[in-house]
Copies of this chain bind each other. A is one copy, B any other.
Amino acid sequence: MNWSPVYLSLKIAFYSTVITAFIGIPMGWLLARGRFIGKDILSSIVTLPMVLPPTVLGYYLLILIGRQSIIGRWLQSAFNINLVFTWQGAVLAATIVSLPLMIRGVQASIESVDTNLEDVARTLGKSEWTVFFRITLPLAWQGIVAGTVLAFARAMGEFGATLMVAGNIPGKTQTLSIAIYDAVQGGNYQQANFLVVLISVITIISLLLLNKFTYIRKW
């Protein structure tokens, strides 16, 4: 049995989740607590990748970062970076697809934090920074964990956009999802069965753990 799609998917999902958290937590906070014009529109834009078909996202990415696009050419000539057909491209696709889940999760959980508590921390002499890291973040913890897990799962399973942007290179961009598709296409049901059972077990265990975990951590 070939394990490389499993490792690869884990790697891609890991990187994309880290990036997603770095973008998603501030964005979620902004949408929950920020007051600015165009918030409604930003909120809609952020939801877009959740409702657009993955192949549409893949197509956008392809014409945005592809060899013949301006960005793609610039990346190529300035940094010698080519995202198409690389695992970094798969990370990009997974990040875009899972970002809305993260942002929505963070937003909802920050919105559920009592602003009174943040206000009190301010009157106790704390900066916005401290308020965020000592009050808001710890109190929104559960929702953020849930959002992260969902984003990770979504990244693990990404198929359509990845297939278009990163292709199907065994050991390089052939993620679990794509490997299963590939195995079925080639009539290799043994490999398909192996991967499908494996990912199902992993997913079920993570879901059950998540349930337990979010129940334990409450005050």
**Secondary structure of the A contact surface, majority rule:** helix
Q: Which of B40, B55, B60, B181 contacts A211 (CB 8 A)?
A: B40
Contact (A184, B51) CB under 8 Å given A44-B208, A160-B160, A208-B44: no
Number of copies: 2
B207 contacts A53, CB within 8 Å? no
- Residue A51 contacts which of B48, B177, B207 (CB distance < 8 angstroms)? B207
In the complex, how many angstroms separate the beta carbon of A170 from the nearest chain B beta carbon? Answer: 16
Contact A150 B60 (CB under 8 A): no
Q: Is A204 an interface residue (CB 8 A)?
A: yes
**What are the residues of chain B within 8 A of A156 when measuring CB–CB?**
53
Contact A157 B52 (CB under 8 A): yes
Inter-chain contact A192/B59, CB cutoff 8 Å:
yes
Identify 7 new A-B residue pairs, CB closer than 8 A, beyond the known A44-B208, A51-B154, A59-B184: A44-B211, A54-B159, A55-B157, A56-B177, A59-B192, A62-B184, A164-B184
**17 interchain pairs, CB-CB under 8 A:** A44-B211, A48-B204, A48-B207, A51-B154, A51-B207, A52-B200, A52-B203, A53-B159, A55-B157, A55-B184, A56-B157, A56-B196, A56-B199, A59-B180, A62-B184, A160-B177, A164-B184
